[in-house]
């Protein structure tokens, strides 16, 4: 009798479970990171730097099966150079409660959602590329205000008066990182320029994959226009950061009206610039994973380069180029033609009119941290050449 009761209970349990399986299931909750952009969550699709790891694995496997080994190697090169990009960035904040912070709130400083648009010493006003709202950060990335750009400027003016902050003066260097990277990738170089060169350093953060190069150039223009008190401005760019600078220079130039870029601009140092486009980006132009991650700028550096290059200026001030490579005919990436730094070929870094050019044995993604590169950057900004004059007529340092 007992065994019969147990069997009956098991049968009822199976029937209940079967009924539950056939019952319509409620939809899964939308993750917070996707809720901010008002789009349904789709596993495997990049939304605010968040995606399904299991689906990503299948996507990568499918990419491996479909693409040849050359594209795969280039893809791995981009991925390796982008390991510093966080997969979870700060979510936007609603502007419904915009205002000042009673207590400054910690932030990540802006990764792939925020564009710097204003600097005062190390205070920054950033704009969110998704929502369009702004926030005011101090040198420790603490948020003091949020809302409109005007509200953040007003709060900064108040802080200036309360803390009696001195005006900016002297020489400054504006530093721009490359595609996939963040401003933190330039920290070592910026620290050296500030301590050893006496520069006020503006390490610009911008959402490199989130909008076209023209948008980044417009944000750069706003930064430069508001560097009140600064008497001299130099630029240092890494990779795509140089393309943003060249686009900015073109936007500020109009021969018919005599318009020209800010007269305070003095020198520019380019680190691994894809001045002739990117062979790697071109090879990956049909790779769905790359185009999703790199966004519009990735396309512009590759298959749309012919449209972009006409919007870039050849700098009229002194500029020097530092390329990475092995100083041979093979380079670090055997799948790229000639010498290369693993991502950009040496040939593609060339730009007519450069005051100096040097090849350093270094990889693309770590170039800005190399001691010799850092030394060369500071020397060019101060003297207009990379190597000491005694060595300038000999073989180029490689």
- Per residue in 246-261, pLDDT (tens digit) is 999 999 999 889 999 9
Tell me: do 120 and 191 sit in the same domain. Answer: no
Whether pTM > 0.85 for this model: the answer is no
Mean pLDDT of 158-162: 97
214 found inside a domain? yes
303 found inside a domain? yes
- Per residue in 302-332, pLDDT (tens digit) is 999 999 999 999 999 999 999 999 999 899 9
Q: What is the pLDDT of residue 391?
A: 55
Q: Write out the chain in H/E/C secondary structure.
A: CHHHHHHHHHHHHHHHHHHHHHCCCCCCCCCHHHHCCCCCCCCCCCECCECCHHHHHHHHHHHHHHCCHHHHHHHHHHHHHCCCCCCCCCCCCCHHHCEEEEEEEECCCCCCCEEEEEEECCEEEEEECCCCCEEEECCCCEEEEEECHHHHHHHHHHHHHHHCCCCCCEEEEEEECCCCCCHHHHHHHHHHHHHHHCCEEEEECCCCCCCCHHHHHHHHHHHHHCCCCEEEEEEEEECHHHHHHHHHHHHCCECCCCECCCCCEEEEEEECCCECECHHHHHCCCCHHHHHHHHHHHHHHCCCHHHHHHHCCCCCCEEEEEEECCCCCCCCCCCCCCCECCCCEHHHHCCCCCCEEEEECCCHHHHHHCHHHHHHHHHHHHHCCCCCHHHCCCCCCC
Tell me: do 363 and 290 sit in the same domain. Answer: yes
Tell me: do 129 and 265 sit in the same domain. Answer: no
Q: What is the pLDDT of residue 98?
A: 59
Tell me: do 111 and 220 sit in the same domain. Answer: no
Tell me: do 100 and 213 sit in the same domain. Answer: no
Q: What is the pLDDT of residue 231?
A: 98
Domain boundary among 144, 166, 188: 166
**Proportion of the chain above pLDDT 90, given as a percent:** 66
Number of structural domains in the chain:
2
Q: What is the pLDDT of residue 44?
A: 35
Burial class (CB in 10 A: 0-12, 13-18, 19+), 362: buried
141 found inside a domain? yes
C-alpha torsion 121→154→228→317, nearest 10: 80
Domain boundary among 166, 194, 215: 166
Q: What is the pLDDT of residue 304?
A: 93
Tell me: do 122 and 184 sit in the same domain. Answer: no
Band (344; pLDDT cuts 50, 70, 90): very high
Q: What is the pLDDT of residue 223?
A: 98
| Beta-sheet strand order (sheet of 230-238) | 200-204, 170-176, 230-238, 265-271, 318-324, 356-360
CATH no. for residue 56? 3.40.50.1820
Determine the structural domain holding residue 183 and report its residue range. 52-81+168-393
397: pLDDT strictly greater than 70: no
Tell me: do 146 and 174 sit in the same domain. Answer: no
Residue of higher predicted confidence among 92 and 218: 218
39 found inside a domain? no
42 found inside a domain? no
- Please compute Rg for the chain using Cα positions: 25
Residue of higher predicted confidence among 177 and 23: 177
Band (283; pLDDT cuts 50, 70, 90): confident
Tell me: do 192 and 321 sit in the same domain. Answer: yes
Closest CA to 384 of 204, 234, 202, 227: 234
60 found inside a domain? yes
Tell me: do 110 and 183 sit in the same domain. Answer: no
Tell me: do 158 and 269 sit in the same domain. Answer: no
Greatest mean pLDDT among 37-41, 96-100, 360-364: 360-364
Domain boundary among 133, 166, 199: 166
23 found inside a domain? no
Tell me: do 231 and 369 sit in the same domain. Answer: yes
43 found inside a domain? no
Tell me: do 276 and 335 sit in the same domain. Answer: yes
Q: What is the pLDDT of residue 164?
A: 97
209: pLDDT strictly greater than 90: yes
- Per residue in 7-36, pLDDT (tens digit) is 555 555 555 555 555 555 454 444 443 333
163: pLDDT strictly greater than 90: yes
Cα 299 from Cα 305, distance rounded (Å): 8
Q: What is the pLDDT of residue 109?
A: 92
Q: What is the pLDDT of residue 101?
A: 74
């Amino acid at each position: 009798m007992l065994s019969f009761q147990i069997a009956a209970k098991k049968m009822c349990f199976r029937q209940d479970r079967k009924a539950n399986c056939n019952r319509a299931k409620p939809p899964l909750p939308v993750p917070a990171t996707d809720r901010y952009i008002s789009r349904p969550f789709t596993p495997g699709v990049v939304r605010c730097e968040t995606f399904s790891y299991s689906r990503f694995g299948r996507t990568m496997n499918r990419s491996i099966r479909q693409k040849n080994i050359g594209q795969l190697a280039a893809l791995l090169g981009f991925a390796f150079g982008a390991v510093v990009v966080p997969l979870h960035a700060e979510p936007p904040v609603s502007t419904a409660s915009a205002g000042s912070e009673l207590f400054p709130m910690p932030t990540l400083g802006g990764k792939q959602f925020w564009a710097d648009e204003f600097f005062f010493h190390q205070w920054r006003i950033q704009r969110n590329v998704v929502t369009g709202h702004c926030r005011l950060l101090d040198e420790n990335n603490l948020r003091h205000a949020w809302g409109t750009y005007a509200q953040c400027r007003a709060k900064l003016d108040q802080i200036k008066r309360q803390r009696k902050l001195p005006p900016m003066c002297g020489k400054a260097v504006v530093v721009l990182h490359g595609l996939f990277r963040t401003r933190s990738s330039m920290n070592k170089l910026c620290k050296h320029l500030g301590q050893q060169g006496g520069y006020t350093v503006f390490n610009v953060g911008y959402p490199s994959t989130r909008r076209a190069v023209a948008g980044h150039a417009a944000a750069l223009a706003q930064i430069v226009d508001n560097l009140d008190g600064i008497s001299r401005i130099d630029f240092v760019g890494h990779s795509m950061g140089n393309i943003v600078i060249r686009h900015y220079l073109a936007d500020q130039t109009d021969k018919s009206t005599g318009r020209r870029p800010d007269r305070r601009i003095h020198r520019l140092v380019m680190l691994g610039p894809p001045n002739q486009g990117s062979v790697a980006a071109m090879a990956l132009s049909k790779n769905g994973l790359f185009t999703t991650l790199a966004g519009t700028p990735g396309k512009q550096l590759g298959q749309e380069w012919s449209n972009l290059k006409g919007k870039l200026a050849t700098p009229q001030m002194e500029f020097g180029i530092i390329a990475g490579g092995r100083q041979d005919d093979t380079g670090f990436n055997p799948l790229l033609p000639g010498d290369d730094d693993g991502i950009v070929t040496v040939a593609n870094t060339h730009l007519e009119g450069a005051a100096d050019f040097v090849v350093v044995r270094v990889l693309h993604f770590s170039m800005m941290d190399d001691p010799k590169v850092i030394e060369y950057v500071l020397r060019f900004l101060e003297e207009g050449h990379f190597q000491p004059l005694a060595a300038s007529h000999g073989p180029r340092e490689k």
